[in-house]
Amino acid sequence: MTSTAADRRTARLPLDTTMIVGGTLLLVVLLALTRLLASDTGNLLTRNTVRLSLAWYGAALCLMMQLRGAADWRAETSLGRLARWCWTWAIVVFLVHLAMAFHYYHGWSHAHAFQRTREVSGVGEGIYVSYLFTWCWIADALGWWWQPARYAARSPWIDRVLHTFMLLIVFNGMVVFETGGIRWAGCIMFVVLTAVWLASHRPRPALAS
């Protein structure tokens, strides 16, 4: 390994360590406090984990919209690595949320989850869309870690299709089929994401000659 490559790897350690330790502590504290303070533990564990996942998700999208060059998408810059870590923690916490939902609500039964989806949305087959959503997210996060160069070089249309699909699912989950605080949080998140997207696509002023 060349000294330059070793220096780059060493420079990444503080951010990576912070994200590993910080993300783990945040999740552990959330689970511990929910168990200690909640009267309806299963309900709040399920809800709080998806809330944390969506917070990571929103942060990741905001950061992704600031990524510019291939080095950012290869996670060779601090901004790129931070975006990748937020994206990773979002799916990790989402998987914890799914485990809570299947444990407390469905008894690890696909049939029960199918029926519950039918009761909520009117279409039981919608559970398969949720499964697709989850697997697409897992594959995308793993691809960013395992083959960052290929991830950075892939067609922009892959990202457009993926994120449009995911945003539709998130919008339905937070705004259409929810009520109260989570619906308002969803509205705020989408307003913020729209504002960040518009700001990131705003033409830069020409430099004075």
Identify which of 65, 48, 53 has the alpha carbon closest to the alpha carbon of residue 159.
65
What range defines the domain where residue 179 resides? 3-200
Q: Is residue 208 part of a domain?
A: no
Residue 209 or 83, more confident: 83
Q: Is residue 190 part of a domain?
A: yes
Q: Is residue 207 part of a domain?
A: no
Q: Is residue 205 part of a domain?
A: no
Identify which of 42, 63, 20 has the alpha carbon closest to the alpha carbon of residue 34.
42
Q: Return the percentage of the chain with pLDDT > 90, whole number.
A: 66
Ranges of beta strands (E only) in the chain are none
- CA dist 188 to 51, 55, 71, 179, Å? 13, 12, 31, 14
Q: What is the mean pLDDT of residues 44-63?
A: 95
User: Tens digit of pLDDT for each residue in 11-36?
Assistant: 578 999 999 999 999 999 999 999 99
Q: Is residue 206 part of a domain?
A: no
User: Tens digit of pLDDT for each residue in 89-137?
Assistant: 999 999 999 999 999 988 888 888 888 888 877 777 889 999 999 999 9
Q: Is residue 143 part of a domain?
A: yes
User: Tens digit of pLDDT for each residue in 163-207?
Assistant: 999 999 999 888 887 777 788 888 999 999 999 999 987 654 444
Q: Can you count the helices (H) and strands (E) in the chain? A: 9, 0
Residue 180, pLDDT score? 78
Q: How many domains does the chain have?
A: 1
Q: Is residue 188 part of a domain?
A: yes
- By the 8 A CB rule, do 87 and 144 touch? yes
Asked if pLDDT for residue 153 goes beyond 80, the answer is yes
Q: How many CA atoms within 13 Å lie on the side-chain side of 121?
A: 19
Q: CB within 8 A of 209, min separation 6: which ones?
A: none
